[in-house]
Structure 1
């Protein structure tokens, strides 16, 4: 009898991939789940091997071939946990060889070419394949199995009960079900990975947008001082009498350098506003500070959030970066309360000592059963707070409260460190 061997193209489809080296359920969270495939296949081997040997010896009178065939048709199931394609090659070859050897055995009214033990073991193997391999590999295995049954059935012994159709149909059903489970699990895994990547990209985009905004506001602060330097340097020769030519030239050089620096910053600001934020004109209003917190809180109260402001009676002249950062931190904290805990009582406190300006925003749980405007927080607003506090060299503490509220506390030094050449690369 001639058995058609798989073509080179079919063998290429059956070639194991790097992913095939990963055991079944290797990503399961619990240890017993990762070991369960070995236990299940081991149980089938322990049951099927002696059963197959006994059936081949007693029913088919296979003689000395019974033991070797029984081992070759069952033991490789253990390999199917990690190398299902290789296990299939071994078991399929042993099954075909066994069918050939049984042609002249006592097969009257007995299953042929696949015995009952062969069918059960083969279906277990198909389940391992379906949970691991790609669809094209499963189709190739199924077609090769059917082709082998057709070829063997052409020379079936008289009186034997044909089983090639039974195995072909059952193998197709098992492969379809397990392949669908594998495809669904793979799709869910890829979706979870994509959601993680998207969340990281959103956080990075938020960070970059906040840094661009800080850079724009920093420009406005620095530009004010540079403009003052320019005006003072230009007017110095007219305000101060008795200046020699060297002093006049020095003031002209200072004014020229200041004007050049202003021009460079304005060009940089134009890039940030056009590419970073999509604004054409940019923000041209004066930057807000602590003196406008009362207006901010009143606007929040009108929006339906019961908020109270406790502001120190006398505040010293704050550095522009600290003044602006304090306002933005309170603004973002109140916005977070509106989004995530609407109706929650909120207290805003701004105090100052000789070294630090302390900003504290505390809110309670959402009032009643009011639904939040956003179901879950991404924490992107906290990224901007941390960036601003790092810029001033201060400290930020945020976190939930035992009663279900939230706290934002920032300490901003009144003598902030010098601004670095570039913003930090991460926000910790």
Structure 2
């Protein structure tokens, strides 16, 4: 093991002075500010570009056109008549100070980079002309007001650091011009930074509010998608549990029949005995695996789902319980239904159950009609409710549609179709068509 020689006092690193840390931080902030001033923080897309209506998308262009059409002739008139600037020079200054307003809709920072130097140049040019009794220097009234709109546009689109940097340069330019000709300066050198700060604060508040609203909308969209996905997974888990009970019943029948076949059928050869024993063993193994899977699926400890699964024979009880809850419901159940597969039987019951629950939540007191019929090949479940007649407000003002997720998943599982949607009179309709033959190909979905 080797040891390094002790450091001499000259080699020992000394703590960095606080002043050096402040200088480094200042340089870093200056670099970031310079980068913000030279690189817009937004793409060249005007505000309201994502609006659905065309007239809203055109509003920013109309505003900048109106500002340019207003300030260009006013600035030219003020420079020539009030300050005595030559027509050609006044025209150049007026164009440089107002034409970039057309860029405020999509590139306000670049517009500021043109208007700000042009305003400073205009102030320097006015120094070469005699002071007028009504002359305002260094910022004439059109220049002052026009600059406020520029600052507002910059604050609406750029980051807080860039906005502060723009205001700092504006204040510095006003101070330098005031000190260079204090006899000509008559107040606008202080007005520009003061009112610019007000406009920039207003713009920054509006921008921050818009950003917060967009982030909130995005988060709500993400949460809604997560809730829908979680609901779908929960419903699939529930269906898997119920399917276990359906399949386990048939597997148990297979096991019993395979075990009892040698005793019920006499004269079977030894090979048939072995075949029935293998069938019974495979069935028992499948049952064991399904019970193991069921233990995982029911790990939440719910006891109610261990009861026998309901079917069409319990729809009457379900409707009666709904009527007792205050919902006027009528049931029309075909008296001659064919043999309904257990999965379809359970799915039909769950669809009616969820549809009635939705009516209770969103349209309490609405008259509801339930119809269950069959044409021999398909089972049709129809639940239609009218508009709620009671003045009571619904338990849920807006629905997420998560109840329909379970219906669609069950219908998809059985190969059927589901049609849901509002009715013209304000009611709602749920129609499911479930095939009774498991081998039949699924019909195309209606919606």
Q: TM-score, normalised by structure 1?
A: 0.88
Cα contact 2:417–2:446 (8 A) shared by 1: no
Does the residue aligned with 1:161 lie in a helix, a strand or coil?
A: coil
Cα distance in 1, alignment partners of residues 375 and 441 from structure 2: 23
Q: Give 2:13's aligned residue.
A: none
Cα distance in 2, alignment partners of residues 57 and 404 from structure 1: 68
Cα distance in 1, alignment partners of residues 304 and 54 from structure 2: 57
Cα distance in 2, alignment partners of residues 180 and 18 from structure 1: 17
Equivalent runs, 1:90-129 vs 2, <5 Å: 90-107=114-131, 109=133, 110-129=135-154
- Which one of the candidate residues 80, 90, 110 is aligned to 1:66? 90
| CA deviation after TM superposition for structure 1 residue 59, in Å | 4.1
Equivalent runs, 1:176-255 vs 2, <5 Å: 176-255=201-280
| CA deviation after TM superposition for structure 1 residue 354, in Å | 2.2
Cα contact 1:294–1:309 (8 A) shared by 2: yes
Cα distance in 2, alignment partners of residues 128 and 207 from structure 1: 46
Deviations 1:30-51 (A, max 9, x none): 3233223223322332332333
Q: Give 2:402's aligned residue.
A: 380
The answer to whether 1:396 aligns with 2:421 is no
Q: Give 1:15's aligned residue.
A: 38
| CA deviation after TM superposition for structure 1 residue 58, in Å | 4.4
The farther-off stretch of 224-233 and 262-271 is 262-271
Cα distance in 2, alignment partners of residues 39 and 57 from structure 1: 28
Cα distance in 1, alignment partners of residues 271 and 40 from structure 2: 80
Q: Give 1:3's aligned residue.
A: none
Does the residue aligned with 1:397 lie in a helix, a strand or coil?
A: strand
- Which one of the candidate residues 45, 49, 52 is aligned to 1:26? 49
| CA deviation after TM superposition for structure 1 residue 191, in Å | 2.5
The answer to whether 1:75 aligns with 2:99 is yes
Over the aligned positions, Cα root-mean-square deviation in angstroms equals 2.7
Cα contact 1:16–1:83 (8 A) shared by 2: no
CA spacing shift, 1:45–1:367, aligned 2, 3 Å: closer
CA spacing shift, 1:427–1:193, aligned 2, 3 Å: farther
Cα contact 2:384–2:430 (8 A) shared by 1: yes
Cα contact 1:339–1:373 (8 A) shared by 2: yes
The farther-off stretch of 136-145 and 305-314 is 305-314
| CA deviation after TM superposition for structure 1 residue 398, in Å | 2.6
The farther-off stretch of 165-174 and 148-157 is 148-157
Cα contact 2:381–2:433 (8 A) shared by 1: yes
Deviations 1:128-163 (A, max 9, x none): 112222222222211111111112222115244231
Cα contact 1:79–1:87 (8 A) shared by 2: yes
The farther-off stretch of 20-29 and 206-215 is 20-29
Q: Give 1:423's aligned residue.
A: none
Cα distance in 2, alignment partners of residues 377 and 279 from structure 1: 29
CA spacing shift, 1:339–1:33, aligned 2, 3 Å: closer
CA spacing shift, 1:410–1:119, aligned 2, 3 Å: same
Cα contact 1:322–1:412 (8 A) shared by 2: yes
Cα distance in 2, alignment partners of residues 299 and 187 from structure 1: 46
Q: Give 2:365's aligned residue.
A: 343
Does the residue aligned with 1:350 lie in a helix, a strand or coil?
A: strand
Structure 1 runs of 4+ aligned residues shifted over 4 Å read 61-64
| CA deviation after TM superposition for structure 1 residue 264, in Å | 2.5
Cα contact 1:59–1:106 (8 A) shared by 2: no
Which structure 1 residue ranges, 5 or more long, are not aligned?
Answer: 1-5, 421-425
The farther-off stretch of 54-63 and 387-396 is 54-63
Cα distance in 2, alignment partners of residues 252 and 229 from structure 1: 11
The answer to whether 1:87 aligns with 2:141 is no
Cα contact 1:22–1:82 (8 A) shared by 2: yes
Q: Give 1:294's aligned residue.
A: 316
Does the residue aligned with 1:348 lie in a helix, a strand or coil?
A: strand
Cα distance in 2, alignment partners of residues 20 and 111 from structure 1: 37
| CA deviation after TM superposition for structure 1 residue 311, in Å | 2.3
Q: TM-score, normalised by structure 2?
A: 0.84
Cα contact 1:307–1:348 (8 A) shared by 2: yes
| CA deviation after TM superposition for structure 1 residue 288, in Å | 0.7
Q: Give 1:265's aligned residue.
A: 290
Does the residue aligned with 2:236 lie in a helix, a strand or coil?
A: helix
Cα contact 1:383–1:427 (8 A) shared by 2: no
| CA deviation after TM superposition for structure 1 residue 108, in Å | 5.1
Which structure 2 residue ranges, 5 or more long, are not aligned?
Answer: 1-28
Q: Give 2:179's aligned residue.
A: 154
Cα distance in 2, alignment partners of residues 263 and 16 from structure 1: 67
Cα contact 1:49–1:75 (8 A) shared by 2: yes
| CA deviation after TM superposition for structure 1 residue 21, in Å | 1.1
Does the residue aligned with 2:171 lie in a helix, a strand or coil?
A: helix
| CA deviation after TM superposition for structure 1 residue 69, in Å | 2.1
The farther-off stretch of 282-291 and 360-369 is 360-369
The farther-off stretch of 379-388 and 8-17 is 8-17
